[in-house]
Amino acid sequence: MIPSDHFTRFYNEVFKFLESQGEEALEAYWLAISKNQERHILELIETQGLEGMYEYWSHIKIEENCDMDLDFNEDRLELRMNVCPSLSKVMDNDAEPMERYCDHCAGWIGPIMDKTGYHMVYDVIDRKKPQCVTRIFKDPAKARAAEKDAKLLMGWPGHKVG
């Protein structure tokens, strides 16, 4: 058993292999993971919208030991990751981190937001630092306005940026 605690280091090896196979392979994988994650979050979004997302990430914050602030109001949900446990483990690793490790997060969340009619603005800030800010809006105009403040805006399959 690769312990669940070490999944991110396994994930990192998978990303390196897929990157060597080309961008299409990486994006197809993120979509497969996104589909897998639907079983945990889709119903919450479809029945409770932003509040359902808040419930999901409140649970993740505890279970994945995230140093993260969640801010929810009727317009948007903000996830401010102060110390990301996933990238932290990948950096604390005897194997080499994949340079675009952070891309997977937008890679699985983005397609779910597209599917449910929400608009995500995912600011990675710096791929070498375990921190990021994700904002999810119902109103696309508010999302477009928020994109202007991002330091390193991340896209996902079907939603390219930059």
Partner 1 sequence: MAESEVTMRYEEGGNVHLDFHGAANTTIDFIVERFGVAAMDEIFRKVGRDVYASIRSDLVAGDTRQLVRHWRHFFDREGGDYDIAIGDDQIVLTVRRCPAWHHVKALTGSVSPHFCDQTTVTNASMAEGSPYAIDTEITGEGSCRQVIRRRA
By rule CB under 8 A, what count of residues binds partner 1?
37
The letter for the amino acid at 60 is I
Q: Is 158 helix (H, G, I), strand (E, B) or coil?
A: coil
Pattern 103-122, binding to partner 1, x per CB under 8 A?
Answer: --------------------
Distance CA 87, CA 131 (A): 9
Dihedral (CA of 86, 91, 93, 96) sign: positive
Q: Which is nearer to partner 1, 17 or 139 (CB)?
A: 17
- Other beta carbons within 10 angstroms of residue 57's beta carbon come to 21
Per CB under 8 A, 13 contacts partner 1: yes
Q: Which is nearer to partner 1, 67 or 78 (CB)?
A: 67
Per CB under 8 A, 2 contacts partner 1: yes
Given 1, 73, 148, 160, the residue binding partner 1 (CB under 8 A): 1
Given 22, 32, 46, 128, the residue binding partner 1 (CB under 8 A): 32
Q: Which is nearer to partner 1, 65 or 145 (CB)?
A: 65
Write b or e for each residue in 65-88: b if 16 or more Cβ atoms lie within 10 A of its Cβ, otherwise e: ebebeeebeeebbbbebeebbbbb
Of the ranges 58-66, 111-119, 127-135, 138-146, which one interacts with partner 1 (CB under 8 A)?
58-66
Residue given tokens 């952070």 in the structure block? 102
